[in-house]
Amino acid sequence: MKEAATRWEAFRADDLIITNLDESVRRGVVYSIMKELSLPLFAFGIGSRVPDDFEYATKERVLDLIFRITEQQVSDHSGSERWKE
């Protein structure tokens, strides 16, 4: 991602849009590239359907993606959510 950002540096971007997050193994790189380039994340893509699979980057959603919070939750028999152990 850094290499791609360096190639586009002449355009002086105000923010980032990252695609194919659904195919990434380490999503923490999103935070790393934001810090390294000093740019905020505007949106991200988590699938191949454009524009349906693009989401605006809220703090809560980005943390959810990085730490895979939603993927770690399971429902018990009462229907309430709990953390996997």
Element holding 4 (H helix, E strand):
helix 2-7
pTM above 0.85, yes or no: no
**Positions of the chain with pLDDT under 50:** 74-78, 80-85
The architecture of the domain spanning 2-83 is: 3-Layer(aba) Sandwich (3.40)
What pLDDT does residue 26 have? 80
Cβ neighbours of residue 62 closer than 8 Å, sequence gap 6 or more? 30, 31, 41, 44
